[in-house]
Structure 1
Amino acid sequence: MSTEVTKLVAEPRTQFGKGAARKIRRADKIPAVMYGHGTAPVHITLPGHAAMLALKHTNALLTLVIEGEEHMALAKDVQRDPIKPFIEHVDLVVVRKGEKVTVEIGVHTEGEAAPETVVTTALATLEVEVEATNIPEWVTISVEGLEAGSQILAGQVELPAGAELVTDPEYLVVNVTQQQSEEELEAELEEAEAEAGIEREDGDEDEESGDGASEGTASDDAEGEGSDES
């Protein structure tokens, strides 16, 4: 369970829009908004480097010091630049000790399934309800020795103490299937190509060998003509 709370000193923000946001980021700060518990949204800026470190993990819990007053908040939405390594904006939800929140946690698998099987994680995250100060980073599922045809549903996943499943318990999380042979894969590929109307070009090698034969015949004819002239 994650119980670490990072303290950041935030500043109130009064300027908005893309231009203001760019100016904030150039100053190594991050624009953010904090809301929840029926209060009006509070627009703030976070210290860039410290916030980047704190938000490396999902569901980061922060203590924000705004004009001397502390607020506990959960990072609900972190918008990252798709190319450059910086955060564009953060949505924060005010939480209180003992309060339960609904969050998504990652799914990790461990162990080795039976030989010649393939393990597929069909659901990368599970939605759970848990105390805000006790959010697990992920849930671990063992696939040790599982045979082909084995399936693990959301309701069968053992959750950390205090966490309650919100995801539909019938959702497939992990699927173990039989590893396919090269012949089976080739057959599937041919079937998919046929359904898509793609025709394979057969006889390319025959055409190449045929061209070679024609060239050889032409060469023989040329040699024959030369001998007649001599």
Structure 2
Amino acid sequence: MATKMKAQKRESGTPHSALTELRGKGDVPGIVYGYQAETTPLTVSEIDLIKTLRESGRNGVINLELDGKTFNVVLSDYQMDALKGNFKHVDFLAINMSDELEVAAAVHTVGEAAGESEGGIVNQPNREVNIKVKPSDIPDALEVDVSKLEIGDSLSVGDIRGTVPYEILDDDDFLLVSVSAPRTQEEIDELEETPETEGAEPEVVGSDEESGSDEEKEA
């Protein structure tokens, strides 16, 4: 069952100062667009948004109540404040529950790889796969059993394609999990001796700026 959330309509072309004021009050500006929905600027409570996403998941269907109408939507895009960690903008895509969607599903490993008992290291280079599925069948995550993987073994999309009830859009050689041999003492020593790169910039998760102005999103 889809999670319900209320939104309030706002004026198109809201100035930057007004958007800042909205966020200061705990609201998140956004838009809704898509199936049977005109592109409409809106705001949602950040508390309600976080609660809804916890209940429905990143790809879950949300019953969005707006201006006396209810839309089945998914969160199609969002921007975060890199310093404060709060939402800056959200895009909701209204969907037809009968049509398939292309979504990114998380990949979770299940079990302990056999190679770990010999010191092997489990690597997961790709933690999401792209799938095509009806909204009502979107999985919380795609689980892959790694218990039989020895050192040197790996799992790619081609190994699991026929084991899931939806279409995986990534290529067969898209690597999901591998088990590598443990590092030798010589390799460890070399890593410890390698100096850190001077002037390296720290990794930033998300963006502290919206990708395009609010007006551009609503155009």
TM surpasses 0.5: yes
Contact 2:36 2:94 in 1 (8 A): no
Contact 1:34 1:94 in 2 (8 A): yes
Residue 100 of structure 2 corresponds to 100
Cα distance in 2 for partners of 1:13, 1:160 equals 45
Residue 24 of structure 1 corresponds to 22
Equivalences for residues 204-219 of structure 1 within 5 A = none
Return the letter of the residue paired with 1:89.
H
* Cα RMSD after superposing both structures: 2.3
Task: Compute the displacement of 1:159 (Å).
Answer: 7.2
Residue 212 of structure 2 corresponds to none
Task: Compute the displacement of 1:83 (Å).
Answer: 2.5
Cα distance in 1 for partners of 2:90, 2:190 equals 49
Residue 7 of structure 2 corresponds to 10
1:183 aligns with 2:180: no
Task: Compute the displacement of 1:108 (Å).
Answer: 1.2
State which of 130, 133, 137 in structure 1 corresponds to 2:133: 130
Return the letter of the residue paired with 1:129.
K
Residue 81 of structure 1 corresponds to 81
After superposition, what is the alpha-carbon deviation per residue over 1:121-166, rounded to whole angstroms, capped at 9, x for unaligned?
0111000011112211211112114211101111212577542101
Cα distance in 2 for partners of 1:8, 1:153 equals 37
For structure 1, list consecutive stretches of 5 or more residues without a partner in the other structure. Answer: 197-230
- The percent of aligned pairs where both chains have the same amino acid is 24
Task: Compute the displacement of 1:85 (Å).
Answer: 4.0
Equivalences for residues 84-163 of structure 1 within 5 A = 84-113=84-113, 114=115, 115-157=118-160, 161-163=164-166
Task: Compute the displacement of 1:184 (Å).
Answer: 3.5
Identify if the C-alpha distance between structure 1 residues 185 and 10 changes in structure 2 by more than 3 Å, giving closer, same or farther: same
Return the letter of the residue paired with 1:142.
D
**Structure 1 range deviating more: 88-97 or 15-24:** 15-24
SS in 1 for 2:136: coil
After superposition, what is the alpha-carbon deviation per residue over 1:9-44, rounded to whole angstroms, capped at 9, x for unaligned?
211110523212112222322111111238541111
Cα distance in 1 for partners of 2:15, 2:163 equals 42
Q: What is the count of residue pairs matched by the alignment?
A: 190
Return the letter of the residue paired with 2:35.
H
> What TM-score comes out, normalization by structure 2 length?
0.77
Residue 69 of structure 1 corresponds to 69
> What TM-score comes out, normalization by structure 1 length?
0.74
Identify if the C-alpha distance between structure 1 residues 79 and 187 changes in structure 2 by more than 3 Å, giving closer, same or farther: closer
Cα distance in 1 for partners of 2:164, 2:98 equals 14
Cα distance in 2 for partners of 1:96, 1:150 equals 41
Contact 1:74 1:95 in 2 (8 A): yes
- More contact order relative to length (CA 8 Å, sep ≥ 6): 2
Contact 1:131 1:162 in 2 (8 A): no
For structure 2, list consecutive stretches of 5 or more residues without a partner in the other structure. Answer: 198-219
Deviating above 6 A after TM superposition, structure 1's stretches of 4 or more consecutive aligned residues are none
Residue 44 of structure 1 corresponds to 42
Return the letter of the residue paired with 1:45.
T
